[in-house]
Chains A and B, each alone.
Chain A
Amino acid sequence: MKSRPQIGGRLAAVALVAIVLAAGAHAQVLNSGASTIALNAVLNDSITVSLSSNAVNFTLTAGSGSNPGSTGVTATTTWLLRPNVASLKLYAFFSSSTSALTDGAGNNIPSADFQISNNAGPLNALTNTVPFGGANAGLQLSSTPILGNNKSGTRTDNMNFNINLVPLPSLPAGVYTGTLTIQAQAI
């Protein structure tokens, strides 16, 4: 027969163990499952061309090789490109080589007689086939190599214009109008 004091001691010991076990159970970290968020950030490639002016006038002298435009035009090209782009080129072009400017009555000034000096370079006629416009009606104004340090960049092309009427000595008097287009391409 055990005495009542012995029984009380055993109960106290059991209670102490239970308390210790309960405390240990509370100390363990409980984690949820991992939930993911897919992130997708798009930096679009882009090329923009802006012009300092959108109109040029010419006062022509019959048969003259020098008929400069009333104003120069600066094309500012800004780009943000992806890797693997090798170069950025700027083009000037007409939709037709035979009628860069026309009086609307069948008398035309061909693109071969329209000249551009880019950044004070020589005057060049628009006689090449470029990615835009009519065949033999374009001119590459510039080419910028795209390297690791200029995937994003800008450049300016200062254009001056001239109409050469030496090949057109019999051009009749009239008002000749046309549209010159400037466009850039990265490839």
Chain B
Amino acid sequence: MRTGTFVRVAVVALAMTFAASMASAQALSSGAQTIALNATLAESLTLSLSANAVNFTLSAGSAANPGSTGVTATTAWTLKPGRTAVAVYAYFASTTALTDGVGDNIPSSAFKISDNGGASTALTNTVAFGAANAGLQLGASTAITGANKTGSRSDAMTFNIDLTGGTLPQLPAAVYTGTLNIQAQATP
């Protein structure tokens, strides 16, 4: 009898101890406090040039009057979703590309650019910038996908002035100056 009672008491005590340990093992948590996060990645499109001046020593009536140096345009971008292409353009503000200031001009059709070793092409197209028939898209557009929302491209340009067309073989001796613009555009 006494042994049975002792066993019962021991079992009850063990159960109470287990219950107490289970109760104490329950986690107590604080309330959740939140921090609102706002991160802005601004859209950007930049273009830099390796040089900002090119000289030409012209030979009257010659088709080959290369520039003194090539120029590399480096275009870098971080774009929003929805942009599908980046294109780089060279253009003049007028089809008069270079002038001596006294009415003698070299038209944009006589000014040629070879982009990344490609064919030398005159600036005779109407592009996104500049005057009508005074531009050229450099190379192909860069397609923007999910993999290059942030990216860059390089366009290595070499220049030439072709003095064989029209009245250019009679172009008078003079200093001809002009400004070629290089600009990139992301679309749409």
Q: Interface on A for B, CB 8 Å cutoff?
A: 45-51, 53-63, 67, 69, 73, 75, 77, 81-85, 100-101, 103, 105-107, 109, 114, 131-132, 161, 163, 165, 169-187
B28 contacts A81, C-beta separation under 8 Å: yes
- Would you call B167 an interface residue if the criterion is a C-beta within 8 Å of the partner chain's C-beta atoms? no
9 contacts between A and B (CB under 8 A): A59-B39, A61-B41, A173-B43, A173-B80, A176-B41, A178-B39, A179-B34, A185-B29, A186-B28
Q: Interface on B for A, CB 8 Å cutoff?
A: 21, 24-44, 78-81, 83, 146-151
A172 contacts B78, C-beta separation under 8 Å: yes
Q: Which 3 A-B pairs have the closest CB atoms?
A: A172-B149, A173-B43, A84-B24
In Å, the complex CA distance between A58 and B37 comes to 8
B33 contacts A174, C-beta separation under 8 Å: no
B37 contacts A62, C-beta separation under 8 Å: no
In Å, the complex CA distance between A186 and B29 comes to 6
A45 contacts B39, C-beta separation under 8 Å: no
B33 contacts A181, C-beta separation under 8 Å: yes
Chain A residue at minimum C-beta to C-beta distance from B36: A55
Neighbouring A residues of B79 by C-beta, 8 Å: 172-173
Shortest B171–chain A CB gap in Å is 47
Chain B residue at minimum C-beta to C-beta distance from A187: B27
In Å, the complex CA distance between A175 and B36 comes to 13
B37 contacts A101, C-beta separation under 8 Å: yes
Neighbouring B residues of A61 by C-beta, 8 Å: 41
Shortest B16–chain A CB gap in Å is 15
B37 contacts A178, C-beta separation under 8 Å: yes
A54 contacts B80, C-beta separation under 8 Å: no
In Å, the complex CA distance between A59 and B79 comes to 15
Neighbouring A residues of B21 by C-beta, 8 Å: 84
Do A177 and B24 form a contact, CB below 8 Å, given A170-B146, A172-B80? Answer: no
A47 contacts B81, C-beta separation under 8 Å: no
A45 contacts B32, C-beta separation under 8 Å: no
The listed residue (B24, B34, B38, B147) touching A170 by CB distance below 8 A is B147
The listed residue (B24, B29, B41) touching A47 by CB distance below 8 A is B29
Neighbouring A residues of B81 by C-beta, 8 Å: 103, 105-107, 172, 174
Shortest A70–chain B CB gap in Å is 9
